A and B are shown apart, each in its own frame.
Chain A
Amino acid sequence: MATIQELKRIASQVRRDIIRQVHYADSGHPGGSLGCADFLTALYFEVMHHDPKFNMKAEGEDVFFLSNGHISPVWYSVLARSGYFPVEELATFRKLNSRVQGHPATHEGLPGIRVASGSLGQGMSVAIGMALAKKMNSDKKLVFVLTGDGELQEGQNWEAIMFAAHNKIDNLIVTVDYNGQQIDGSTEQVLSLGNLAAKWAAFGWDVMEIQGNDMEHLVKNLNIAKAKTGQGKPIVILMHTEMGYGVDYMMGSHKWHGKAPDAALTEKALAQLEETLGDYPYPYQGKLYSH
């Protein structure tokens, strides 16, 4: 059990890891990663029961899937900081001969990843498949999946949403990163999502709406969501986040969706984020992955 204060300190380091990964790779997606840093920290350091001695089948463990794979820097940081792989490997993000690929992948065997993601709209289906397997295996643990809000423009999600309600997949908690932004602008401008809460409810889901950048509120509500499982309905959390949260010049805009900060802006970002667990060294000195 971590205290709220401890979780906040971890999230601060996770945000530093995000900025540094993206800066050193000179590419990647900092905006959404920063917005979801609190959520993923809460999941991996408090809410989920999981074992960093990675086991693909996850028998007796809660599992997490990242459908919006482009926010990989936040997931990599949280996985490394919880012991799935050496933190030093974050320095290889998006580089040749690395396990830390641009988008999450199983191909290089990075512990903690169970399926590739990045081509959007697929993660929820995979998570539901895993939830079905858990039910067949009489495994009471839960399946979590995070999806972007713009990602809901992909039709496959709505196939999955219909399926999960019809089949009473009640060991599943879907979270939507509800930041209202996508690459080309706001979701409102690009393709309006309409009344998301009403849409999910109409499909037969138990809908929660929460704030995603307030650790205390987040942990409390994720535990409420867990308590709602096993009651015949899949659960969705519409989680309001701010893209770029924690770095002033990245907040309130879609412009940092997929762009890396230069050296000066990296300095400026890191000055706003306390180093709590120690930065990983750069460049990487360890063993590289090779095909």
Chain B
Amino acid sequence: MLDKLVSTGKNSTRDGFGVGIYELAKQNPDVVALTADLAGSLRLDDFIKDFPDRFIQVGIAEANMIGLASGLSIGGKIPYATTFANFATGRVYDQIRQSVAYSHKNVKICASHAGVTLGEDGATHQILEDLGMMKMLPGFTVINPCDFEQTRQATLAIAEHYGPVYLRFGRPSWPIFTEPFKFEIGKAILMSEGTDVSIFATGHLMWNAIEAAKKLAAEGISCELINIHTIKPLDEEAILDSVSKTRAVVTAEEHQMYGGLGSSIAQLLARKIPTPMEMVAVNDSFGESGTPIELLTKYGLGVSDVVTAIKKVLARK
């Protein structure tokens, strides 16, 4: 199974969003797109060309954008509010909390350029706290797809789900490897079976986890690879099933260690099956300028970091 996990090409997750929302707009006339002066970065060009009446340019005014999206949803639309992840969450947290989450509006907050793989722009834009903030909001669905294809599928799927959604993706060109897998909200994907350790990964780090598992397979270590694209609601059953078999866990995410996927899984396991666990995540730090690969390496999110974490947890087993 592991050797079938190969890259069939490269493209960014944000391009997956752009293709997805264009496809969706053709199917669903209620879908509208908003952006705060970042239409090109969010790959909305095709949408704007063919559906100009369903596109709303808000200008550099994210707080207003969230309110507009809430109002549009009251009127029966399915608004996709788009900008960079930093401006889509932390900057407008109270607007999201009151006008979207507490009011249970059918708003889709679609955020690109999350994490250190944003690269050269540096830490002002590299949000690493967004998953934590958004999963804290009652009733919010939080999704962090791992490649172009999964982002495309997720963009389509969230329109079918009534309620507030945070869809997080990124800037860099990245391997595409999920074509055989169907995306379903809240359903973890078992990408490769294994017996020694469960690896739960989300977003770009899913690929690094695959590469790490391949390296360790050569050393006779069998990794179970599970993709957690939906951070909330968490697929507890899939996690517990795997952990009861392997009894060792590594999580991997492009996010702060505090508040991300790792902490969600640790909370679950502490209650249900206390298990040795290591977390590949940013350790209470801001990022900086650099290329995506340089930054992943420096901030402990590279393939070798996943390998180290697996060996560490196996030693504790």
- Residues of A whose CB lies within 8 Å of any CB of B are 56-59, 105-107, 114-119, 121-134, 136-137, 155-156, 159-160, 162-163, 166-167
Contact = CB atoms under 8 A, between A and B. Distances in A.
Interface string B26-70: 000000100000000000000000000110101101011111111
A106 B103 contact: yes
Given A159-B63, A163-B59, A129 B98 contact: no
A163 B71 contact: no
A119 B70 CA distance: 15
A130 B98 contact: no
Contact of B102 (A116, A160, A167): A116
A66 B54 CA distance: 27
10 contacts: A106-B103, A114-B74, A115-B70, A125-B68, A125-B95, A126-B68, A128-B67, A129-B79, A130-B72, A163-B61
A57 B30 CA distance: 13
A128 B58 CA distance: 12
Given A115-B103, A136-B32, A156-B95, A124 B77 contact: no
Contacts of B64: 125, 128, 156, 159-160, 163
A137 B72 CA distance: 11
Contact of A122 (B53, B54, B98): B98
Interface in B286-314: none
Contact of A130 (B53, B59, B61, B71): B71
B67 A156 contact: yes
Contact of B72 (A105, A106, A133): A133
B71 A159 contact: no
Interface string B197-241: 000000000000000000000000000000000000000000000
Contact of B71 (A59, A107, A128, A137): A128
Interface of B: 32, 53-54, 56, 58-59, 61, 63-77, 79, 94-95, 97-99, 102-105
Contact of A106 (B53, B58, B66, B104): B104
B68 A136 contact: no
Nearest to B34: A129
B167 to A, nearest CB: 19
A137 B68 contact: no
Given A115-B74, A129-B72, A132-B68, 7 more contacts: A115-B103, A118-B98, A126-B74, A129-B69, A132-B72, A137-B75, A156-B61
Given A106-B103, A156-B63, A156-B64, A127 B71 contact: yes
A136 B71 contact: no
A131 B67 CA distance: 12
Contacts of B95: 122, 125, 156
Contacts of A121: 63
Nearest to A164: B64
A124 B70 CA distance: 11
Given A156-B63, A162-B59, A56 B74 contact: yes
Contact of A119 (B61, B94, B105): B94
A105 B97 CA distance: 12
A126 B99 contact: yes
Closest 3 CB pairs of A and B: A129-B71, A125-B67, A133-B75
A167 B79 CA distance: 17
A116 B139 CA distance: 15
Nearest to B36: A159
Nearest to A126: B71
A123 B68 CA distance: 9
- Point out which of B59, B64, B66 has the most chain A C-beta atoms below 10 A from its C-beta: B64
A131 B97 CA distance: 22
A127 B66 CA distance: 12
A129 B68 contact: yes
Contact of B74 (A105, A118, A133): A133
A107 B53 CA distance: 32
B55 to A, nearest CB: 11
Nearest to A125: B67
Given A156-B64, A163-B64, A136 B53 contact: yes
